[in-house]
Structure 1
Amino acid sequence: MDFLKLIRSFEDLLFELLCWLIYYPRTLWLVVRHPLRMIDYSNHEQTDADEDQYTDTLSPPLLLLITLALLHALELGLNTQHIQAHNAVGAMVVSSDQNLILWCSFVYGLLPLFAALHVVRRKGQPLERKYLRPPFFGQCYLVSAYALMVAIATMTAQHIGAWKWALGLSGAGFATLWYLWVQSMLFRTMLNMRPLRAWGGAILVFVAAFLTAILVSLLTIGR
Structure 2
Amino acid sequence: MDLMKLMRSLEEFVFEAIALLFFYPRTLLRIIFKPLQAMEYAEQEEASDKTDAYDDAVSPPLLLLITLLLTSGVGVALHVAQASDAAPLAKELLNSPQNLLLFRSLLFSLIPLTAAVLLLRKRRQAASRTALRQPFFAQCYLTSPFALVVSLGLIATQMPGRGLAMAGAIACAMAFAWMVGVQAAWFRAKLGIGRLAALGMGLGLLVRACAWVLVAVALVAIF
Give your verdict on TM over 0.5. yes
Give 1:37's aligned amino acid: Q
- Which 5+ residue runs of structure 1 have no aligned equivalent? none
Structure 2 alignment gaps of length 5 or more: none
Q: What is residue 136 of structure 1 aligned with on the other side?
A: 136
Aligned to 1:117: 117
SS at match of 2:31: helix
How does 1:51-200 map onto structure 2 within 5 Å?
51-82=51-82, 86-159=86-159, 161-162=161-162, 164-200=164-200
- Taking the aligned partners of 1:84 and 1:9, their CA distance within structure 2 comes to 43
Deviation at 1:83, TM superposition (A): 5.4
Post-superposition Cα deviations, 1:147-176, rounded to whole Å, max 9, x if no partner, equal: 112123333444462365444333211110
Change (3 A) 1:60 1:160: same
Q: Is the 8 A contact 2:184 2:198 kept in 1?
A: yes
Counterpart contact for 1:93–1:221, Cα < 8 Å: no
1:71 maps to a residue whose letter is T
What's the TM-score, normalizing by structure 2? 0.92
What letter matches 2:78 in structure 1?
L
Aligned alpha-carbon RMSD (Å):
1.9
Distance 1:181 1:22, change over 3 A: same
Contact 2:82–2:94 (CA<8 Å) still a contact in 1?
no
1:85 CA drift (Å): 7.3
Contact persistence 1:30–1:38 (CA under 8 A)? yes
Amino acid aligned to 1:187: F
Q: Any conservation in 1 of the 2:159–2:165 contact (CA below 8 Å)?
A: no
Q: What corresponds to 2:38 in structure 1?
A: 38
Q: Percent identity?
A: 35
Q: TM-score, normalised by structure 1?
A: 0.92
Q: Which stretch of the first structure deviates more once superposed, 46-55 or 58-67?
A: 46-55
Paired with 1:159 and 1:88, the residues of 2 have a C-alpha distance of 25
Moved more, 150-159 or 23-32: 150-159
The number of aligned residues is 223
Question: 1:13 matched to which residue of 2?
Answer: 13
